[in-house]
Structure 1
Amino acid sequence: MQDISKHPIFQALQKIIHDAADVIMDIYQRADLGIEQKLDDSPVTAADLAAHKVILAGLQALTPDIPVLSEEGVVSFEERSGWPMLWIVDPLDGTKEFIKRNGEFSINIALVENGVPILGVVYLPTTSEGYVGVTESWKGLPVGAFKWQGNEFESIKLRDPRDPIIVMTSRSHGPALPADLKATLKLAYEQVRELPKGSSIKGCRIAEGIADLHLRRGPTSEWDTAAQQAIIEAAGGMLVTPTGQPFRYNQRKTLLNGHFFVSGPELAPSVIDWYKKQD
């Protein structure tokens, strides 16, 4: 199997995401982050827009035949519904964390084919940690999940659940782990600990075996989840709806996701059963 770190497609994506991180971190050091409000009242900064331009130019040069759907470059459903393959990009996932300057934000790039995320790359500019997941070989990329930091590169996978169960919770969007679900988990495990983080970091920590579960009951968009879903699935996990169905992308007029959770196959039945009791 080819070393993914030496594959030209990965190297090109790595350069694109590193270049985007450089412009983000340049703006991160400034006193004025260039904050504005979008029509949905969510914040956007100069870093979101600058990273979008870098990524868009890089992807168009790498794959001129594959269109790009970005949080900062939304396309009508009438146009994108005819795209069997597309890049889905969040140039700055965790804008609220960026504004708070807590370092918990990421860059997300996913390649989607017929609704399925087959390649995902997530990069954390403040820690220089990068994650890549390939669920279906594309242009010779090896299937699997990997992490890099600097020149170090390693394969990653989910861990088997064990005490204490680590639950990733949202830094800005809450709520915390429901008490009755926590009680259910404690029937099988003595300790359940909650660890708040922002952006796609939560899913990546599960993919690399640091945590076990993330429950998201607030709004997200397709660019928030596509890249991490590919990484999580490549690492042996699942990002699924409350009924256990994986998300599919660019299939609807809306780009908003419903509720979802991230876990491995061992914890998933307990979470699905908990959701059923909420109906």
Structure 2
Amino acid sequence: MLETFEAAALEAGKAIMEVYRNGCQSSQKADNSPVTIADEQAERIILAHLQRDFPDIPIIAEESFAAGTIPSIEATFFLVDPLDGTREFIDRRREFTVNIALIENGCPTVGIVFAPALGIAFSGEKGKAEKLIVDEAFQVTQRIAVGVRPQPARRTALASRSHNSPQTESFLVDNAISDCTNIGSSLKFCLLAEGLADVYPRFSRTMEWDTAAGDAVLRAAGGSTVTLDGLPLAYGKRNQEHDTDFANPHFISWGGETAAPERA
């Protein structure tokens, strides 16, 4: 399955970079989030790959969802964010990513995150996570096994560049974390998976397609993502009393051996 994910992500990333180089205008969706032609082109490419190779698995994809195309799902389905970090894309920052994930029984089990402007991707499945080096021809030239690092005494946190919050600042203080790096998109999960950071607290709204692929990579690398009550973040959330379908609660992603190391 990762072969399909990889081919789809690379082709989508190539289309995104063509738009990125030429420039494009953005518009606003109903939820006031931005969308560009790159989002739409990339999603069409990814859906074509998944529907060809896995026609029986339903797909929840961000732009299709926004347009009202919402298939019924069971235990197994795909989550697709064709361009995570659209604000970074529009602002000409390079941290945007292509995200594809498989969900099984509420858990992200296979995923790929591709940052085409950076020439890197991360994939994960069944306890194996890799960093991929991608050249200008969108070919993978190197595969490097990655894994989370043990929680150090001095932890490094990651925060959203566009969606930081006072709760994040309180979390850093409460956990005696002085080092914090701001970065956009699902690359935050990948930095945890690569052992370059230790915790990513998220106290602002996300959707499942924003997090699933990066979460799959992180879990394959030995990390975890938990809600504020300590339970694993689950996927496939429908008919939620206080939010829309597929919206996530606040969560904390951890590298290292444990989900919640003792506070300093």
The 5-angstrom pairing of residues 1-279 of structure 1 reads: 9-31=1-23, 33-74=24-65, 79-81=71-73, 83-135=74-126, 143-150=127-134, 151-162=141-152, 164-175=154-165, 178-186=168-176, 192-253=178-239, 254-264=245-255, 265-266=257-258, 268-270=260-262
- Cα distance, 1:251 vs structure 2: 3.3
Contact 2:34 2:87 in 1 (8 A): yes
| TM-score (norm: length of structure 2) | 0.88
User: Would the aligned equivalents of 1:161 and 1:267 in 2 still touch at CA under 8 Å?
Assistant: no
> 1:178/1:270 Cα in 2 relative to 1: closer, same or farther (>3 Å)?
farther
Q: 1:80 to 1:106 in 2, by over 3 A?
A: same
Give the letter for the 1:256 counterpart: A
Q: Rg bigger for which structure?
A: 1
**Contact 2:79–2:101, Cα closer than 8 Å, also in 1:** yes
Report how far residue 269 of structure 1 moved.
4.4
Please report the TM-score for the alignment, with normalisation by the length of structure 1.
0.83
Aligned twin of 1:277: none
What's the offset of the Cα at 1:113? 1.6
Amino acid at match of 1:65: D
> Aligned pair in 2 of structure 1 residues 18, 111: CA closer, same or farther (>3 Å)?
same
Where in structure 2 are there 5+ consecutive unaligned residues? 135-140, 240-244
Q: How many residue pairs were aligned?
A: 250
Go from structure 1 to structure 2 and tell me whether the alpha carbon gap of 1:176 and 1:129 turns closer, same or farther (over 3 Å shift).
farther
RMSD in angstroms over aligned alpha carbons? 2.1
Q: Which runs of 5+ in 1 are unaligned?
A: 1-8, 136-142, 275-279
Letter in 2 for 1:115: G
2: CA distance, partners of 1:221 / 1:93: 11
Over the matched positions of the two proteins, sequence identity in percent amounts to 37
Q: Secondary structure at the match of 1:50?
A: helix
For residues 269 and 210 of structure 1, the distance between their equivalents in structure 2, rounded to whole angstroms, comes to: 17
Three-state SS of the structure 2 residue aligned to 1:80 is: coil
